Chains A and B, each alone.
Chain A
Amino acid sequence: MSDDLHLSRLLADVVSDVPGVTGVYPAGSLVRSLARELVDAALDENAGDARIAVTRAPGGALSITATIGVEAGRPVPEVLRAVGDAVRAVLEAEDSSAPPPVIEVRASHIDTRTIGA
């Protein structure tokens, strides 16, 4: 298993545990996700469950993309910031000497089932 795949899974677990997060979704459309999973699967047969996109620039700087669902019981900006901070904390703990990573977190679903209930 590659280091980046390991990191992706670690980050997915961390993000899932942030209060207010209802799900961590494959980034991009389902078609792109399936294509990515197929490529990943060629490298690691267990790669299909990777959720967080981890890419590296030529200089080694990491770029992390997470797509999440958020429950409407908490303000979405607050949850997004908590996720961003949690991801950065993991990366700094893993390698504090690495170039600063770019972290992108996108809320693509707000679970509204509690609204008006």
Chain B
Amino acid sequence: MTPEPPGPLESEPERLLDGLDPEDLDGHTIEELGDYLDGGRRPRNAGIEESPGCLIALDALARLRAESWAMLEGEALADRDRDQSWIQNVIANISRESRPGRDIPVGHPDPATRLNITEGAVRGLVRAAGDGTGGSLIGRVELDGDVTVPAEPITVHVTASAAFGPNLVVLAQLIREQILHALQTHTELNVLAVNVAIENVHTPGTTEGPR
């Protein structure tokens, strides 16, 4: 039997994706960012390094490669199509969520000093906090509610994929705690709840989909 040629999963994850709106990333594509990451961010590309959206996406792509790729490797041969679809979604979300979005206010005693954090920066923070738990990877981040109004209650919704092994209830609670801690440290958002939906469990040969 002739072995199958290497699939996209055996190269870089962002190779799986094309057709994203370059406006999401200040005129750059996710593939350009992947190449730039490959080159160790050298020579310095000012257009990328001075674009907050690109920096948010670079942070997330680097984690996707460094921390989470190994989580999926065992499954790659057994369920390649499902993984490709899932990773495409993650990368599409990284690109989309890196956009600045809404301004989230931070208080200052002087009303003539207006301070804000962009929604894109906060989504990047949430993603990093969730990815940082280990053994899981954040798929999508949504800030539900009017984040532009101080003290307005909001709800955070995230989806995640997990490596087979850890107790999923415990893992979801850990993700929730990490995200809440990050938001309480870095924003003044009134977070009512952080909802974590684990949509995939990655294990060699698994065929489980979203649940």
Write the residues of chain A forming the contact surface with B, with a CB cutoff of 8 angstroms.
23, 25-26, 29-31, 67, 69, 72, 75-77, 80-81, 84-85, 88, 100-113, 115-117
Contact = CB atoms under 8 A, between A and B. Distances in A.
Interface string B81-115: 00000000000000000001001001110101111
Contact of A108 (B120, B178, B182): B120
A107 B117 contact: yes
16 contacts: A25-B52, A29-B26, A72-B125, A77-B115, A77-B186, A80-B106, A104-B115, A105-B113, A107-B116, A108-B120, A108-B121, A110-B122, A112-B129, A113-B62, A115-B129, A116-B134
Contacts of B52: 25, 67, 69, 108-109
B47 interface: yes
Interface majority SS (helix, strand, loop, mixed), chain A: mixed
Contact of A77 (B106, B128, B131, B134): B106
B187 interface: yes
A111 B182 CA distance: 12
Nearest to A108: B52
Contacts, number: 113
B95 to A, nearest CB: 15
Nearest to B121: A110
B113 A88 contact: yes
